[in-house]
Amino acid sequence: MSDLPQSDVSRPSKLPTANLVLQGSAPPVVDQTSSEYLDAVEEEWNKRVDVEIETLADGMVDLVNLASINNKDKFKIAQETFQAQFRAESMIKAANSLLSIVHSMKLQLLLSDEAQIVERRDAELATTLQEMAEAKAKVAELLSELLQQPLNGLAGT
């Protein structure tokens, strides 16, 4: 009861080893909170997507540069053909990697904690309703000021 978990996020771990000395030792201490871990995972996903998008963009720029029409000999044509094939293959690899990332993210969404999603949605809804009520009150106040202003002006004439 005294050893409360410090995080509710499951972390992948390596398979147990045959080292018997480690069996009696205490479990490792978690040095991150759940939100810090999730932020780190999100940052890792963002970096992976950025790398693949950058690879696609650079490949496209290189293909456009290779497509220039000049007086070229057979060696230059063969060299540019090889470069174009190489760039196309790296772009295909990056596109497949992006598809894999999207698939993984969809699975994580499907298998994620629905209670957390509902809680976030409800919190956002409550915030939006509160902002809407404040905006309505402000509009009502401004409208009453506008309607009272001409009456005060007519009373003085």
**Radius of gyration (Cα) for the chain, nearest Å?**
30
Residue 138: strand, helix, or coil: helix
Q: Torsion-angle region of residue 26: left (phi > 0), alpha (psi -120 to 50) or beta? A: beta
pTM for the model stands at 0.51
Angle between helices 74-111 and 34-66 (to 10 degrees): 160
pLDDT in tens, 29-61: 567 777 788 788 889 989 999 999 999 999 999
CB atoms within 10 A of CB 59: 21
Alpha helices in the chain (DSSP H): 34-66, 74-111, 114-155
pLDDT in tens, 111-150: 877 777 788 889 999 999 999 999 999 999 999 998 887 5
CB atoms within 10 A of CB 52: 20
Place of tokens 């029409």: 69
